[in-house]
Structure 1
Amino acid sequence: MRIPFTKMHGLGNDFVVLDARTQELPRISGSIAKAIADRRQGIGCDQLILLEPSESCDFRMRIFNADGGEVEACGNAARAVALLHGEPARVETAGGQIALSPADGGATVDMGTPRFDWEAIPLAYAMDTAAMPLAWEELGNPMAVNVGNPHAIFFVDDADAVDLATLGPQIEHDPVFPERVNVNVASVVGEDHLKLRVWERGAGLTRACGTGACATAMAAMKRGLVGRTATVTLPGGDLVIEWDTDNRIQMTGPATEAFRGTFEWDEFA
């Protein structure tokens, strides 16, 4: 059975998108998602995105990381899907409903409301999520935010100087984060301007992380480091994050369709 796919990216964070809204596809397992994501023997991507019918929204978006694990949210993928869908839509995700509004070359995504209480992150036990009394080598006192998925944010003088390839997996798998965590290191580089690098849970270092940009902006706003609208510069480019008056996160940025193709299902099953 040959399956059509669309290869897309948001600021270099890349996706294979499968559309099961109008055609029935075989069941996606973690092992199949991992095989498709493999950059040497598969199609190659940071995340596999599956679009399905939804009873509560216009459609459902499921997200599988490169390690095969299914996760709750992906902001860059949401912009890519908005571009692919081509019109405003409400979308069901495991992290809650989001709203997409495509624009020329990208989209604005209503990512919902941030959650700061320890049980919503979730953490293994109660603590102050605004400045967690924890440290991993030079990284300490992070803020924890859930924006559909869990994030720990560290503010440092120079985000580029942190050995995130080493510290990222240590923090991601620390028992204090029972569902693991995305690890963000950020620096304030100007008025309402942040520089960010992210170790993504289940994907590792990527060129951009939309939910990471949202979580980091929320943390910076809560700490008074930036105003209610901020530009977040990632290795792949810029996102604009606004915390609106309804307590909702608005993320705006580009997305790109790279190419379309088909693959033989049995090669990955």
Structure 2
Amino acid sequence: MQFTFYKYQGTGNDFVMIDNRSLTFPKNDTKLIERLCDRRFGIGADGLILLENDESTDFKMVYYNSDGNESSMCGNGGRCLVAFAKKLNVISDSATFIAVDGLHHATIDENDIVSLQMKDVDKVEQHESHIFLDTGSPHHVQLVEDLHIFDVRNEGSKIRYGSLYGQAGSNVNFVTQTDENKFSLRTYERGVEDETLSCGTGATAVAIAMKAIGKTNSSVIQLKVEGGELEVSFNQKNGFFTQVFLKGPANFVYEGQIAIQ
């Protein structure tokens, strides 16, 4: 079988995209998806995303981590999928789609800047050394010094596999404040099991966490990730965060064909 695939990236977070509206892709083949995401023996990506039909929205998002397992919400992946849907002429400049964590709305401009509405956040756990919250995926947020030389892979792995989050684990974000409403972060991603150049749900989690603990008074937060810059905005009232939007570039890289045996 031969499939057409599309490669997209959002601030360095890269994805294999497949139009699966015909439901012909073998989506339960974990080993195949892992191989396609492999950077040496496959196409290479942080994850694979299927665009499928949905009865009540523009399309459905089905997301797999690079380990081949279907996973929780991916913010940058969602933004890239909106750009992919536009390329396929499924949408024009706005979209409503369903993902594993529920309904999402998004807009895309002529420069492929995608603004994606994320889930509301009604619980931010503040601990002595870190903050934990769920922005569609679980995120540990921890302030550190010397972020540029911090050992994200080893320290992130310790937390992800440690006793704090049990067998399911968590994504882990290390953060440094650079201005009143600007933060730099690096993320260890669960399922990729390594640092990625960007994580959309992680950037969203960091923005909300920093607001919750009083590190910023702004409701529009600029995030510097290893692969570029993102913006997160939200409304906050009585500890609830609503109208949460993740905004940034979503770029087409290339298109190709791959044989699947």
Q: TM-score, normalised by structure 2?
A: 0.90
Contact 1:115 1:146 in 2 (8 A): no
Contact 2:101 2:119 in 1 (8 A): no
Other structure's SS at 1:80 match: helix
Partners of 1:249 and 1:220 in 2: CA distance: 14
Q: Does 1:7 align with 2:7?
A: yes
Contact 2:152 2:188 in 1 (8 A): yes
Q: 1:4 to 1:169 in 2, by over 3 A?
A: same
Q: 1:96 to 1:23 in 2, by over 3 A?
A: closer
Partner of 1:187: 176
**33-42 or 236-245: which moved more?**
236-245
Contact 1:114 1:248 in 2 (8 A): no
> Which residue, out of 209, 213, 217, partners 1:219?
209
Give matches, 1:254-269, under 5 Å.
254-266=249-261
Instruction: For 1:83, give the aligned amino acid.
Output: A
Other structure's SS at 1:244 match: strand
Contact 1:184 1:212 in 2 (8 A): yes
Q: CA deviation at 1:160?
A: 2.0
Contact 2:118 2:246 in 1 (8 A): yes
- Aligned-residue identity in percent: 30
Q: CA deviation at 1:23?
A: 5.5
Other structure's SS at 2:184 match: strand
Q: Does 1:147 align with 2:135?
A: yes
Contact 1:153 1:216 in 2 (8 A): yes
Partners of 2:96 and 2:72 in 1: CA distance: 16
Partner of 1:99: 105
Q: Does 1:65 align with 2:54?
A: no
**Runs of 5+ unmatched residues, structure 2:** 87-91
**Runs of 5+ unmatched residues, structure 1:** 118-128, 134-140
Partner of 2:89: none
Deviations 1:32-82 (A, max 9, x none): 111101111111101111111223422111111111221111111111111
Contact 1:91 1:98 in 2 (8 A): yes
Q: CA deviation at 1:130?
A: 1.0
* RMSD (CA atoms): 1.6
Partners of 1:202 and 1:57 in 2: CA distance: 28
